[in-house]
Structure 1
Amino acid sequence: MIALFGIQATFAHAQSDVDLGTEEGRIGYSIGVNIGQTLLAQGIVEGLDLDAFVSGMLDSLNSETKLSEEDMFAAIQIFQERMAAEAEAALTGNLAKSEEFLQMNAGRDDVISLDSGLQYIVLSSGREDGVSPTTSDSVLAHYHGTLIDGTVFDSSVERGEPVEFGVTQVISGWTEALQLMKVGDKWRLFLPPELAYGEQSPTSSIPPNSALIFEVELLEVR
């Protein structure tokens, strides 16, 4: 968020001259938003000298640069090495936090722990003779996903619309849990990174090597 405010301040003057009432204005603005979102998603903006970044972008658009190709290559290489080191540190740190959380969570009386690493709490149960899905089924479910600190990253509950998906079309922790549930069951799942997204997170809202918590309500088997 701090980085975003920095970008806004840097472009404050330019924004005052933008006319979004024209087609060209909307196109240019939309391309700018797309570039900004890409940089934010890749974690590139944090720690970046925004004044130098804007200067470099404008120079590039004007086909002129203040640094040689060799100097720019060296600078980018340093930046990439720094990013790689930070990413590795984040992987290690997140994994340690996830393992610590799950170890403590496993000691709770209401938590059921399986050999796979899956942990869950039964919040409410459907009928005893209810149907359990198999790997060939699709299901309709409501879910609410958070990080271990409570940050919400995705929620069909908040959107007010349940989701249909194949039992094998989701992360492995879900695939395992769904086959144990019956229609009408509502469970809270605690997934270690290896049963969630591991090191390859699909979104910046889920740090790599994160343990995830889901409240899942199985509504239908289809």
Structure 2
Amino acid sequence: MKKIIITLALPFCVFVVNAQTKAKNTSPKKTTTTAKAPAKSNSTTLVFKSTLDSASYAFGNTMASSMKNDGLNSLNYDLLIKGLKDAFGGATPLISKEKSQAAINNLFVSVSRQKNAPTIAEGKAFLEKNKQQAGVQVTPSGLQYQVINRGTGIRPKATDTVLVNYRGTLLNGKQFDSSYDRKEPLSLPLNGVIAGWTEGVQLMQTGSKYKFFIPYNLAYGERAMGDDIPAYSTLIFEIELLKVNGKQAE
């Protein structure tokens, strides 16, 4: 299985453009004469006269299809065309590059939150109920944990490298990663993993085994991790802290 937790995919957004052409079709009119009348239509037939024409339409159609798959169903087409013309014509942009990127990111985050609302609600409901369970503790950040076995060794700092065994599951119990199954503990820097791990493992002493319930904002946030972890997932990890910077529990 993949070592999911040690790779933090950075959020990114590709700026794409969308152009739509709508054709209005009418059915051919019926005639009472015996001669067949040619079908009439008020639709406008597009004619691609050059490679540029074909490519222009392909750009709009392909990019719009990609955005639609991500949950975006429409744009302000007038402003879209304005942006295209300004860029190709060398006009000064109406908003800065930084604001442009922020606007695009914010739009896709908003669309993603709407698309994944059921997953967000499921995680929130689970954590609200779970914190009432015996032995479950909650940190100010919202991280929840349960002590399975408390060790007696040293506690790591965020800048330390630790050796751990772990198992990760979704709320439905589906396992997405396990060092136990690989029969190989994992060594990793605590400042190079998800926030829930960085915070949680620092609570442990070497020799400890904890169970962590990590809200999506302390896990992978709005990002999906391949086919294993959907976006906005609340995650459950069992973590066994074996060593800190090579120092084993006494």
TM-score scaled by length of structure 2: 0.57
Greater Rg over alpha carbons, structure: 2
Amino acid at match of 2:133: R
Structure 1 partner of 2:123: 98
The superposition leaves residues 142-169 of structure 1 with CA deviations (integer Å, 9 ceiling, x where unpaired) of: 0100111111111111111000011211
Q: Does residue 119 of structure 1 match 2:139? A: no
Structure 2 partner of 1:195: 218
Q: Does residue 160 of structure 1 match 2:183? A: yes
Structure 2 CA distance, aligned partners of 1:126 and 1:110? 17
Matching of residues 1-222 of structure 1 within 5 Å = 68-69=54-55, 72-85=58-71, 88=112, 89-127=114-152, 130-222=153-245
Greater share of residues in helix: 1
What do you get for the CA RMSD once the two structures are aligned? 2.1
SS in 2 for 1:180: coil
Amino acid at match of 1:194: N
Structure 2 partner of 1:7: none
The superposition leaves residues 44-66 of structure 1 with CA deviations (integer Å, 9 ceiling, x where unpaired) of: xxxxxxxxxxxxxxxxxxxxxxx
The superposition leaves residues 143-200 of structure 1 with CA deviations (integer Å, 9 ceiling, x where unpaired) of: 1001111111111111110000112111111111111100111011000011111012
SS in 1 for 2:202: helix
The superposition leaves residues 22-67 of structure 1 with CA deviations (integer Å, 9 ceiling, x where unpaired) of: xxxxxxxxxxxxxxxxxxxxxxxxxxxxxxxxxxxxxxxxxxxxxx
TM-score scaled by length of structure 1: 0.64
Structure 1 partner of 2:18: none
Residues paired across the two proteins, number: 155
Structure 1 CA distance, aligned partners of 2:135 and 2:241? 20
Structure 1 CA distance, aligned partners of 2:205 and 2:188? 16
Structure 2 CA distance, aligned partners of 1:70 and 1:131? 62
SS in 2 for 1:85: coil
Structure 2 CA distance, aligned partners of 1:80 and 1:112? 43
Unaligned runs of 5+ in 1: 1-67
Amino acid at match of 1:115: P
Structure 1 CA distance, aligned partners of 2:159 and 2:66? 43
SS in 2 for 1:96: helix
SS in 1 for 2:148: strand
Report the alpha carbon displacement of residue 70 of structure 1 after superposing the two structures with TM: 5.2
SS in 1 for 2:66: helix
Structure 2 CA distance, aligned partners of 1:151 and 1:205? 9
